[in-house]
Amino acid sequence: MRILKTIALSALTVLFINCGGGDKKEDKKEEVKLKTNTSTSTKKEDPNVTEIVLLANDQMQFNMKEIKVPAGKKVKLVLRHTGKQPVEVMGHNFVLLTQGTQMSEFAAKASTARDNDYIPEGTDQVIAHTKMIGGGQETSITFDAPEKGEYTFICSFPGHYSMMNGKFIVE
């Protein structure tokens, strides 16, 4: 009987601890969402520059599958890695590919270019790219929007392109 009481008490303790922890995780996720959706910039925005903030996480996901920008303007793309994993394990970048570039072929070449942030040397298939960053880091790049059309963007870290890609549409 004493053993049954001990087992029951242990089970209730584990259940109580697990039930109490769930609310904190949800609150924390909501807090992160609120923080990433707020702008802390105090600079005046340049009407000739379209600013995009792209988030990447430890689950190999961008927060956007489609980015639209106006033709004839500069684009400032800010890439934020919201995860915690280091760059060597879960690095992310933003690579805007030229029209007609096959993602899988480009990614195969990129996977061998570790010393160059997984961007093949001398390639003409990249319009713009950021450096590779790890969890908690941020980088940005400013470039001229290419001509009107639809382009593909990816993360070129080995194996990431299949989940981390989207359309970059210039209108």
Instruction: Tell me whether residue 11 is in a domain.
Output: yes
Q: State the average pLDDT over residues 40-69.
A: 86
Instruction: Tell me whether residue 124 is in a domain.
Output: yes
Percent of the chain with pLDDT over 70: 74
- Predicted confidence (pLDDT) per residue in 113-127, tens digit: 999 999 999 999 999
Q: Tell me the three state secondary structure of residue 142.
A: strand
> What is the domain range of residue 106?
49-170
The pLDDT confidence band at residue 30, using thresholds 50, 70 and 90, is very low
Who contacts 148 (Cβ-Cβ below 8 Å, separation ≥6)? 71, 170, 171
Who contacts 81 (Cβ-Cβ below 8 Å, separation ≥6)? 55, 56, 57, 90, 92, 133, 134, 135, 136, 137, 138
Instruction: Tell me whether residue 44 is in a domain.
Output: no
Domain count, the chain: 2
Instruction: Tell me whether residue 43 is in a domain.
Output: no
Instruction: Tell me whether residue 99 is in a domain.
Output: yes
Check residues 143 and 7 and name the one with the higher pLDDT.
Answer: 143
CA dihedral 119, 125, 131, 133 (to 10 degrees): -80
- What type of residue is 7? I
Instruction: Please tell me whether residues 87 and 164 are part of one structural domain.
Output: yes
Instruction: Please tell me whether residues 91 and 26 are part of one structural domain.
Output: no
Instruction: Please tell me whether residues 2 and 60 are part of one structural domain.
Output: no
**Which secondary-structure segment (H or E) carries 128?**
strand 126-129
